Chains A and B, each alone.
Chain A
Amino acid sequence: GQNIDQPTEMTATEGAIVQINCTYQTSGFNGLFWYQQHAGEAPTFLSYNVLDGLEEKGRFSSFLSRSKGYSYLLLKELQMKDSASYLCASMDSNYQLIWGAGTKLIIKP
């Protein structure tokens, strides 16, 4: 079956670094997406990885290991506005996204 696992909730301190992990099992693989979703709002695209390695985009970085079925999202210099849910999604062989339940990130001052 297809499955995406990520922690339900994480807490971090303003200014710190946090890593949100995601493991995936899908029928085929065409890339790994991370989205951010603030409470009551729509998901918004953060990053896409299809090759192994680290992709850096400002304060946010995303890593992929295809052999391990593993990805992480790294958030640096945390700000209060980073409090949100972070959704991991794997694109399967039919180019459909299989979504994790999301990780709620709580930032404390």
Chain B
Amino acid sequence: IAGITQAPTSQILAAGRRMTLRCTQDMRHNAMYWYRQDLGLGLRLIHYSNTAGTTGKGEVPDGYSVSRANTDDFPLTLASAVPSQTSVYFCASSDAKGSGTDTQYFGPGTRLTVL
């Protein structure tokens, strides 16, 4: 079944540790996104990539980095995790042609707890 996968499903991490959240899509979408979702707040964009080889900063990029070596994969790295990064992280992808086909499709999410 086509779609987006994320790994791990959940993780408990000690503060100061490095962590990479994985995201893979098989829909050949050119654009990919990383969001965090916190209670009472809307989804907030961390980083995005409009096409393989390019990345951009979203609303809340500090403490996170991304890479986009190919179309399918878009890993998110926390270099040194802090408790405020406890959240649910969603990866999404879209065709991003500047029209209604910009609909974003979401992966199942990663629940991250930083202690």
Contact = CB atoms under 8 A, between A and B. Distances in A.
Interface of A: 4, 30-31, 33, 41-45, 48, 50, 87, 89, 91, 95-102
Contacts of B43: 43, 87, 89, 97, 99
B7 interface: no
A44 B103 CA distance: 10
Contact of A44 (B40, B41, B58, B106): B106
Contacts of A95: 96, 98, 102
B48 interface: yes
A22 to B, nearest CB: 11
B45 interface: yes
Interface in B85-103: 90, 96, 98, 100, 102-103
A43 B106 contact: yes
A42 B107 CA distance: 6
A30 B102 contact: yes
Nearest to A44: B106
Interface string B71-90: 00000000000000000001
B42 A87 contact: yes
A44 B43 CA distance: 13
B64 interface: no
15 contacts: A4-B42, A30-B98, A31-B100, A42-B106, A42-B108, A43-B43, A43-B90, A44-B106, A45-B103, A87-B42, A87-B43, A95-B102, A96-B45, A96-B48, A97-B45
B104 interface: yes
Contacts of A43: 43, 90, 106
